Structure 1
């Protein structure tokens, strides 16, 4: 069953399937579960060509989350700043093409959240080991904010932080499990968000890691 068929089971998503966080922001519980085998196969194929690496921030800090990219563009960070690039700086080659299952899930999840016609140009593949975290930030390196962010969680659970439009705003702490998808756009597109440190555990499929797929349309 595809994610689109999963969504079509409901004319109106029940409370235990869709959780509204704010205008334009939702959690779609278990939405990615029907596509997990295809997603994990895609992660394996992409990272065989574009291996995971720990990027360095412009300030010189090494990120605790390991990253790769797939799609026409990839997000990169180094001493020169944050940006999107069509070429993997580690290999000198274009980023691997986005697997069809990735693009379909992003389209279906965006539609289920109320955003039609989402065609991502980039998918950031993030690997969280135990203790890895993502500090509060806004996704603002894109040139077009008219499209949502679609974030897919696989493996170990996490606590997703979802705040306001200032870093100091209070954040909601939202438990995220294997197969959950968070979508935010429209009036919530530039909200601060992050991930608390991953707690020790073992997932039946992924062991002691969490994989996150983040889909973005850049321009």
Structure 2
């Protein structure tokens, strides 16, 4: 019976807030449909190649700015040279709502960034199949300390949220399920984090995603041009 009750907000340290079930099913459907459109171009979904030759198991498509290790550009010079799709206003507004809702639960996140001032200009859309993982890393290629907004759709994953000093302990493992929101800003903005496992078959096909996990992260690059 407890599984039918909404889960409470969770804090993973000052500035880091997890709101389970934040997205409605209809919002998830809309995001899945949009992600399918973005994945088809102008810059398609791809496995990112790392500078030392490795290839990420996650597949990614970018909006607004194109990310490749370890910089942003308007064109996807490592894929097809085309300019990435624009970040739509409705998705930026969803990001503002996310910051506002999580800031109500943790003032540390909003000490510098009022929700109405949050203006994301890029989104990374990551698709995880059942074997994909994401190693511990910092989101530090931005020239802004504005919060990062993370939305999950599809299969549940084990998300590891660490500290700002390094990849090692202390860290906290939580499960991010379909519809969950996670925002980290303020003192948690540059914490190391990663995905250690995707639990196949745990997503709801009613979202429009038959398998795998979609993760959308909204960010402020602090770049111009």
Structure 1 residue 202 displacement after superposition = 5.5
* 1:106 match: 95
- Root mean square deviation, CA, Å: 1.7
Contact 2:32–2:209 (Cα < 8 Å) also in 1: no
4+ runs deviating over 3 angstroms: none
Structure 1 residue 92 displacement after superposition = 2.0
Name stretches of at least 5 consecutive residues in structure 2 with no aligned partner: 1-5, 104-109
User: Matches of residues 1-219 of structure 1 in structure 2 within 5 Å?
Assistant: 16-33=7-24, 34-49=26-41, 50-71=43-64, 73-77=65-69, 82-89=70-77, 90-114=79-103, 115=110, 116=115, 117-145=117-145, 147-165=146-164, 166-201=166-201, 203=203, 204=205, 205-219=208-222
Moved more, 200-209 or 132-141: 200-209
Return the alpha-carbon distance in structure 2 between the equivalents of residues 162 and 171 of structure 1.
Answer: 5
Return the alpha-carbon distance in structure 2 between the equivalents of residues 199 and 120 of structure 1.
Answer: 30
Name stretches of at least 5 consecutive residues in structure 1 with no aligned partner: 1-14
Q: TM-score, normalised by structure 1?
A: 0.86
Give the secondary-structure state (helix, strand or coil) at the position aligned to 1:37. Answer: helix
Q: TM-score, normalised by structure 2?
A: 0.84
Return the alpha-carbon distance in structure 2 between the equivalents of residues 161 and 202 of structure 1.
Answer: 18
Give the secondary-structure state (helix, strand or coil) at the position aligned to 1:107. Answer: helix
